[in-house]
Amino acid sequence: MTRSFFIFSIFVIVGAGVVFAQERPVSSDRDKMIPELRRRTLVLDIDARVLESENVVSWSQTHQKITMPGNPVGIRLEGANLVVAVQFTPFIRRGGNVLFSQVQIGIKDSDQGFSYHTSIQTIPFEFDEPILFFPLGETDSASPSIEIILKVNPYREAAPPEKNNE
């Protein structure tokens, strides 16, 4: 009889612990951290295009990338004889925001073979300011050129849809 009473009391204690554990509200540092992360999150709107003579757009590609300050965002542009890989890393600073860009360009030429170029730039920026970026450098208007236009903005959640009161 004492053995069955002992087993019964263990089930009661364990069962009560499970009930109390389920009734407590779960609060963690993660719940407090999510608004802080949303506040720091950035959105990069990237428009890459190829301009022919007289600013005629012959090819265009649009990206919207979400990142945190200090984390790189990359895009890759490929053509028949050209590969351009660009990484943009935004940094938010008290003295002014800075966009760090790293460009890798591979060009295949029938005479010289394959050539590879890389460059690094630091560009100051303000939020919602369009930044014009020419990974191949500015060329004369007679030859096609690649142009990247990007804007950096703080992340904003979409507003919930309004309810109709009809």
Question: CATH number for the domain including 103?
Answer: 2.20.130.10
Amino acid at 100: F
Q: How many whole angstroms separate alpha carbon 89 and alpha carbon 98?
A: 8
- Within-domain flag for 76: yes
Q: For the chain, how many helices (H) and strands (E)?
A: 2, 8
Q: Is the pLDDT of residue 34 over 80?
A: no
pTM: 0.65
Give the pLDDT band (50/70/90) at residue 159. Answer: very low
Closest CA to 46 of 81, 79, 84: 84
- Within-domain flag for 31: no
Q: Which residue has the tokens 């301009």?
A: 51
- Within-domain flag for 131: yes
- Within-domain flag for 145: yes
Q: Which residue has the tokens 């690094």?
A: 120
The stretch 102-113 carries a mean pLDDT of 84
Give the pLDDT band (50/70/90) at residue 71. Answer: very high
Range(s) of the domain holding residue 133 = 42-154
Compare 123 and 78 and report the one with higher pLDDT.
Answer: 123
Q: Is-contact 10 18, C-beta < 8 A?
A: no
Q: Is the pLDDT of residue 166 over 60?
A: no
Total tally of structural domains belonging to the chain: 1
- Within-domain flag for 166: no
